[in-house]
Amino acid sequence: MYGLIPLPAELIERPGSLRLESIGAAGAPAGLEAEAAVLNAWLARAKAAAGVASAEGANRDGGADRSDGAIAPLGLSLDAALGGPEAYRLSISSDGVSIAAASPAGLVRAGATLYQLALSHPDALPCVEIRDEPRFAWRGFMIDAARSFYRVEFLERLIDLAAMHKLNVFHWHLSDDQAWRLELPGLPELAAMGSRRLDRRFNAVRYRTGSYSPEDVRRIVAYAAARHIEVIPEIDVPGHSTALLASHPELWCHGDHSDRLFQPEDRFGVFDGILCAGNEETFGLLDRVLDGLAEFFPSGYVHAGGDEVPKGAWLSCDRCRARMAAEGLRDEAGALDPERLQAYFMDRVSRSIAARDRRMIGWDEVVDGSCGKDVLVMAWRSHEHGYRAAQIGRAHV
């Protein structure tokens, strides 16, 4: 249907067409300057791809100067009666383009539809009326920047493509065994040591580096916000923490009586670099990390990982065994239970996140040892794990 992805809920064809080059720039009604700028950038890009010049003459309320009869207006307006927050109506006639939306987010979704039509019909846009709103509230994509570093410019381009396809959540995976990518004030060692990885592809000592400064994060968050995409950071704990342990080996279970030094991994797999659940300093450091995340990311969510934890290490750790005994973390047979220790660990992280007015997301393993009712479960192993989370009353993706 006109090459639109995803398909709109309703499309009515009208007679006639509208030349792409005749469409004027959208004006910026008060409070909608960011949305108008996104639409105008998309329209200019489509015109450049088609090899046509941009029409001039937008005014502040969304109309265009039609004194010479050559410029078709691109009008923007809000209408809460259209439906949900991302609902919109896009009308294209031979006289111009009209966009109405239930909220500013809906204007961007409508702009994405207009952009797709302009790219697929570079000569003349078909006259149509489209009414649409999303079927799913969460439409996300994830970038694993821990294993592979991506420049800010690349991320912006990807966010723009995501907005073009009406996605609304950017899940930014910022730490793993392979790297810690986020520079945090007061904790410079995390990125300084955690983002420097020996490149084993070469028979020589070479390193791969890359981290995101606070300015980088603010730039990405603002770029995404203009397109009504929420940026959710992920810091994976207690497993997948080798890169964190590169700067804080004392937080390993045997860190107080071992001279082992960690460095970010240059291979895939599940490694024994996990955080000690019996060491209070572990939770102290995570509190400081969460302070930084709350400062840089306005999202109401923080993803705390919780997947692929080789919990056998906790059974050989005196502090973890003491924690399990003190908290009564035992299985049905009365044995110390590392599965319940992980639930204890993630519950403490969840409460720390909640104290910063955020909600924790965890991979589906957090259900194995039970998790708080407010935790959002993200199923990655299979859809059955999502069903399982739903059956016990947990919100899930």
Q: Which amino acids are annotated catalytic?
A: 176, 240, 308
Nearest in space to 301 (alpha carbons), one of 363, 232, 373: 232
Query: What are 345's two structure tokens?
Result: 């660990």
CA dist., res. 350 & res. 358, Å (int): 9
How remote is the C-alpha of 161 from its chain's centroid? 14
Please count the other Cβ atoms lying within 10 Å of the Cβ belonging to residue 30: 7
Cβ distance 247 to 184 under 8 Å?
no
Q: How many angstroms separate the CA atoms of 329 and 347, rounded?
A: 13
CB 392 within 8 A of CB 364: no
What residue type is assigned to position 15 of the chain? P
- Beta strands 140-144 and 124-132: pairing type? unpaired
Q: For the residues of 153-188, what is the DSSP string, one character each?
A: HHHHHHHHHHHHTT--EEEEE-BSSS-B-B-BTTBH
Among 392, 379, 387, 384, which Cα is nearest to 138's?
A: 379
* Angle at 98 (CA atoms; ends 97, 99), nearest 5 degrees: 125
Q: Which residue is listed with tokens 């916000």?
A: 225
Instruction: Output the CA torsion sign for 346, 348, 350, 356.
Output: negative
Q: Is residue 248 within 8 Å of 188, Cβ to Cβ?
A: no
358 by DSSP, 3-state: which?
coil
Tokens of 244: 């964190």
Q: Which tokens go with 204?
A: 């020589």
Spatial contact of 369 and 311, defined as CB atoms under 8 Å apart: no
What length is written for the chain?
A: 397
**Cα(128)–Cα(151) distance, integer angstroms:** 39
Residue 264 to residue 271: CA distance in whole angstroms: 11
DSSP class of residue 363 equals E
3-state secondary structure of 190: helix
